[in-house]
Amino acid sequence: MSASSAPPGQITLADPSAALEATFVPALGMVGCSLRHEGEELLHQGAGPAAYASAGSTFALPFLHPWANRVSDWAFALGARRVTLEPESPFVHRDAATGTAIHGLLAASPHWRVTDTGPAMLSAELDFGAVPEYMAAFPLPHVVTYTATVTGTTLKVATSVRAKGEVAVPISFGFHPYLTLPGSDRRDWRLELPVASRAVLDERMLPTGERVELAAGELDGPLGQRTFDTSFPELHGEQPAFVAADNRRRLTLTHISNYPVAQVYAPAGSQFICFEPMTAPVNALISGDGLRWVQPGERFDAAFTITVAPA
């Protein structure tokens, strides 16, 4: 990201022992706007921060909450509360291809408050229940905490949700890192995908409930001409590690804790691949499939890492 295009209020984290820098913008949804290794950008910049701020456009490393990916309806019950999403709301992003609400309410949210920071660490908090516009759409009060840490050539992102009110809060958040390997052709990228099953999707890219089992390593190999917009509701291993590598670097996104689901996204013609850690399957808020809840006063924690290593 050039200095002229850099959004205001950005905070850069770096471990002086390694050549990795991660930059976040708390006032722009706590988006990770840059991840640089030896001066080269590893997050696809898409249309840039201004387009992300105005339209939620493709950009870098966004946080998706209170749901990741698509939901099948615009109004639905969650326990005793009812969620009503307005298609014209500036907080709701409508997927142009399927007409569904997608990726939650917090894109470019200005409501994050930095609580702690250091040379290699940043922590911020968002009180969801204190924002009337969010509560009107998703009336379950809670507090989200986001902590990013750089250690060596590893970025760790830890997220927690604490149920603040008198009702339980469903957990369905995720992240959408647009990873790229500069200086190489995506067709030559080598993938490792620790996926144990693929969800069968309908015409709106929503799970039908059917799954196709996958053997360990079945989808590994060059990206080539393959494309992905694929839901993987089961993964192999206790800490599944997704890899994209070229002849210079190996990027590994590891599900450290409480991310049992992944989405992989690599559309035709793109120069990125997204390994998306998710806390629940696509449409879990409505289907209930794999949906977990945080009880009043309790907290849910999840973490993933992105590590850069020589190929």
Q: Residue 208 is encoded by which pair of tokens?
A: 């039908």
Please tell me the predicted confidence (pLDDT) of residue 6.
Answer: 58
Report helix, strand and coil shares of the chain as percent, to nearest 5: 10, 45, 45
Please tell me the predicted confidence (pLDDT) of residue 3.
Answer: 45
**In the chain, where the domains are located:** 3-310
Please tell me the predicted confidence (pLDDT) of residue 18.
Answer: 87
Please tell me the predicted confidence (pLDDT) of residue 4.
Answer: 42
Q: Residue 226 is encoded by which pair of tokens?
A: 């393959």
Geometric angle at alpha carbon 195, from 203 and 92, rounded to 5°: 45
Domain 3-310 carries which CATH code?
Answer: 2.70.98.10
Q: What is the mean pLDDT of each run of 10 residues along the chain (311 residues)?
A: 62 93 97 96 92 85 97 96 93 92 96 97 98 96 98 98 96 98 96 98 97 98 97 98 98 98 96 98 98 98 98 92
